[in-house]
Amino acid sequence: MKVWFYRLGSPKWFYEISERWLPWLAWSSLLLIAVGTVWGLLFAPADYQQGNSFRIMYIHVPAAFLAQSCYMMMAVAAVISLVWKMKLCDLVIVAAAPLGAAFTFLALFTGAVWGKPTWGTWWVWDARLTAMLILLFLYFGVIALQHAIQDKVASARATAVLILVGVVNIPIIKYSVDWWNTLHQPASFKLTEKPAMPAEMWLPLLVMVLGFYCFFAAVLFMRTRNEILDRERRTQWVRELVKKVSSR
Amino acid sequence: MSMPRSLSTVFMAILRRDLLLAFRRRHDLANPLVFFVIAVSLFPLGVSPEKSFLAEAGAGIVWVAALLATLLSLDGLFRSDFEDGSLEQLVLSPSPLYVIVLAKILVHWLVTGLPLILLSPVLGLMMYLSSDQIVLLALTLLLGTPVLSLVGAIGAALTVGLRVGGVLISLLVLPLYIPVLIFGAGTVNAAASGLSVAGYLALLGAFFMLALVLAPLATAAALRISMTNS
Amino acid sequence: MALLRVEGLTCERDDRVLFQDLSFEVGSGEVIQIEGPNGAGKTTLLRILGGLLQNWEGELYWKDRPMSEVRTEFLANLLYIGHKPGVKAVLSPLENLRAWSALHEPVSDEKLMAALARVRLTGYEYVPCGSLSAGQQRRVALARLYLSQAPLWVLDEAFTAIDRSGVEQLEALLAHKAQRGGAVIMTTHHVLNLPGALRKIRLGKVQETPEVLEEGDLL
C-alpha cells in the first residue's frame, strides 16, 4: 500500500500512466461534449418560462461545477503536498490553477449571457454569480502568487498554503454572500432553480457535465505532463525521452 | 544552551519589542489613518453629499476604507524584520513561531486597527449616521479589525521579501476580507432596517475566534516558506 | 561525539546543482570553515543546516537523532548569525541585545553592557544602530557570541567589515569556544589563523553535465 502511495507521487510514473489515459480522455470528452451540445441545443425541450435562452445552462452549469471541483482538487493536492511533500501534487496545482480560472470565467460569462434575455441586464449581483466572481479572485490570487515567487519549491508551498486558506474561506464566503443577497434582493433569481427538470432536460446536462470533466482531466494531464518535463529535465529518463523524440 | 522560554515570556518580549519599534517610527503610523479619512471623504465628493445617499452608504463606505487602510499597513508587518535579518532570527528561535506571530499581529492591530475604531465615530458623523449606528459601527469594527490584521498577516507572510509586495498582498487578501466586510457593514445596515443584530455580532465574534486560532498557524507556515526568498 | 551530521545533501537552486551527495560531521571542539568561490552555495549550505531552506535532499542529524524529531532542541542549542545580522536600525545596541536575550536567556543589563564592551562598542550603547557604521552594526550581532551558551555556532561571513584587531579577537574567541567543547561552522573570505582546530570543506562548481541537445535538434 505504501509502495503504491509513493509510486503515485513519482512524476515519471504519472508521465507514463497519463500517456495511456490521455487518448481515452480526449476522445471521450470530445464525444460527450459533442453529443451533449447537440442534444441540449437542438433536441431538448424548450423551457416553458425562458424559452430557448435557458440552453446556455448546458455550458454554464458544467463550467460552474468544474470551477468549484477544480479548487477542491487543488486543495486536496495542497494538503498532500504540504504534509507528504509529494512533488507531483505541486505540479498538478501549477497545471490546474489557470484551468480552474478559465472555467470560472466561462461560468461567469455564460451566466451573464443567460442573464441578458432573462432579466434584461448583462450582469446582476445575485448570490451565485457573486460567489463565482469571488472564486475567480481566489484563482487570480493563486496564479499571481505562483508567478511572483522565483524558487519553484517555495512557490509550490506558498501556493499550497494560500489554496488551503482559500478553501477554509469558501464556505464562509458562500454563507456571507447568501446572507448579503437576502438583505438586498428579497426575490432572488436562482439560475438553476427549476421545480423538476424532466429527464429530457437533465440527461443532456449530465452528458455535458461528464464531457466537461473528461475535458478537464485531459487538459490537466497534458499541462501536468508539460510541467513534469520542465521540472525534471535534469533527470535521466527525461533526457532519454528527448533523445528518442529528437532522433525520430 | 538556552532554555526555551515560557510562552507568555516570549509573547511579552515580542510585544514589547514591536511596540518600541512602532513608537520609534510613530510618524509613519499616521499614514494609514490619514488615508482612511481621505478615502471616506472621496465618496461624498465622487458620488453625492446628499444625506439620503450617505446615511445609507455610510457604514459600507467606512468599512471599505478601513479595509483599504489596513491593507496599506500590512506590507510593513514583516518587511523591516525581513530586510535586516531579524525575521530569520525569529524563525530560528526555539519558541513556537505561532506565539511570536500572534504578538506581532497584536501590535499591528493596536497601532492600525484601534486608531481606526477610535476615528470611526467622527467619520460616522460625517456620513450622517445616527448615534445608534455609530456605536454599532464601532462595535463591528472592534470585532472585525482584528480579523483584518490576522488574515492580512497571512498575505504579508506569503509575500515578504518579494519585490512586488504591496499590490500582491491586496490581491491575495481582499477576497478573504469579503465575509468580514459583508457582515461588518451589513450589521449596521440591518439595524437601520430594524433587524436584531445580536446574532450578527456573534457571527463576527465567531470569525474573530476562527481567525485567532487558524491565521497565526498559516502565517507561521508562510513565514518559513518565505525564508527561501532572501 | 558528532553534534551535527550531514548525509547525502543535494541542493539545486535556479537550475544549478550547488552540491551533490555532500556528507560531513561536526564534532565538539571543531571549527569548520566552508569555503569556495562566490555562488558556490556556502550561504545556502549554512541556511540548510539552520533549517531555513526546504528544497534539498539528504539527511540531517543532531546528536545522532534525525533533525525532524529534535528540531526544537536543536534550535535551543544553536546560535545563528546570518548574512544579514538581525540588528534593528531604530533601536540602540543595548535595546537590540535586550530584545534578543529576552527570547533566549534572561541576561542582566550589566552583562549586556559587558558584552558590548568586549566588542568595543562602549560609548555607543545608546546610539540608534542606524547611525553606526556597518562594522559597528555587525559587532552588535557578534556581541551575542559573548552572551550565548549554545554549543553550536553557525556564522555566515562573520568577519565582514571587521578590522584587524577585531579579527584577532574573534579568532581567539572561536579557538576558545572549540577548546571548551563547542563547535563552529562558518564561512568567510578571510584567511583564518586557527592552529589545530580548523577543518575546511570546499564547495566548488559541480561539473556541469553536458547538454544533450544541440541548437536546432528538434526541428
- Does a structural domain hold residue A4? no
Closest CB to C55 among A151, A243, A245: A151
- Does a structural domain hold residue B2? no
What is the full per-residue pLDDT of chain B (230 aa) written as tens digits? 455 678 898 999 999 999 999 999 888 889 999 999 999 999 999 999 999 999 999 999 999 999 999 999 999 899 999 999 999 999 999 999 999 999 999 999 999 999 999 999 999 999 999 999 999 999 999 999 999 999 999 999 999 988 887 889 999 999 999 999 999 999 998 888 877 888 899 999 999 999 999 999 999 999 999 998 76
How far apart CA B223 and CA B90 sit, in angstroms, is 10
- Does a structural domain hold residue B200? yes
- Does a structural domain hold residue B205? yes
- Does a structural domain hold residue A181? yes
Could you tell me which residues of chain C have a Cβ less than 8 Å from any Cβ in chain A? 12-15, 17, 54-55, 209, 212-213, 217-218
Pairwise pLDDT comparison (C22 vs A141), residue with the higher score: A141
The answer to whether the CB atoms of C80 and B83 lie below 8 A apart is no
Minimum distance, in Å, between the CA of residue B223 and any CA atom of chain A = 9
Reading the block at residue A64, the C-alpha cell is 460552474
Closest CB to C212 among A150, A154, A242: A242
> How many other C-beta atoms can be found within 10 angstroms of the C-beta atom of residue B55?
15
Using the predicted structure, report yes or no on whether residue A48 has a pLDDT greater than 70: no
Q: What are phi and psi of A126, to 5 degrees?
A: -90, 170
pLDDT over 90 percentage in chain B: 81
Give the global pTM: 0.89
Pairwise pLDDT comparison (C171 vs A189), residue with the higher score: C171
- Does a structural domain hold residue A94? yes
ipTM: 0.90
Using the predicted structure, report yes or no on whether residue C213 has a pLDDT greater than 50: no
DSSP lists the bridge partners of residue C22 as C9
Task: Tell me what pLDDT residue A34 has.
Answer: 84
Domain total in chain B:
1
Task: Tell me what pLDDT residue A188 has.
Answer: 43
Report pLDDT digits (tens) over A145-161: 999 998 888 899 999 99
- Does a structural domain hold residue A232? yes
Task: Tell me what pLDDT residue B165 has.
Answer: 72
The answer to whether the CB atoms of B228 and C104 lie below 8 A apart is no
- Does a structural domain hold residue B146? yes
Closest CB to A157 among C17, C54, C209: C54
Minimum CA–CA partner of C43 in chain B: B230
Name the residue range of residue B98's domain: 7-229
- Does a structural domain hold residue B172? yes
Contacts of A168 in chain B (CB under 8 A): 214
Quick check: A141 and B175 in contact, CB under 8 A?
A: yes
Query: Looking at chain C from residue 42 to 71, which residues have their Cβ under 8 Å from any Cβ of chain B?
Result: 47, 50-55
- Does a structural domain hold residue A142? yes
Rg (CA), chain B: 18
Mutating which of B171, B200, B201, B223 best tests the A interface, going by the most A Cβ atoms within 10 A? B171
Could you tell me which residues of chain B have a Cβ less than 8 Å from any Cβ in chain C? 1-5, 9-10, 13-14, 16-17, 20-21, 24-25, 80, 83-86, 88-95, 224-225, 227-228, 230
The b/e string for B16-49 (b: 16+ C-beta within 10 A; e otherwise) is ebbebbbebeeeeeeebbebbeebbeebbeeeee
Mutating which of A149, A153, A245 best tests the C interface, going by the most C Cβ atoms within 10 A? A153
The answer to whether the CB atoms of C55 and A154 lie below 8 A apart is yes
> How many other C-beta atoms can be found within 10 angstroms of the C-beta atom of residue C202?
11
Q: Which amino acid is at A3?
A: V
Nearest to C91 by CA among B20, B225, B164, A208: B20
The answer to whether the CB atoms of C91 and B83 lie below 8 A apart is no
Using the predicted structure, report yes or no on whether residue C215 has a pLDDT greater than 70: no
Q: A30 CB contacts (<8 Å, ≥6 apart)?
A: none
Task: Tell me what pLDDT residue C88 has.
Answer: 93
Name the residue range of residue A119's domain: 32-186+195-243
Task: Tell me what pLDDT residue B176 has.
Answer: 96
User: Which H or E run contains C56?
Assistant: strand C56-62
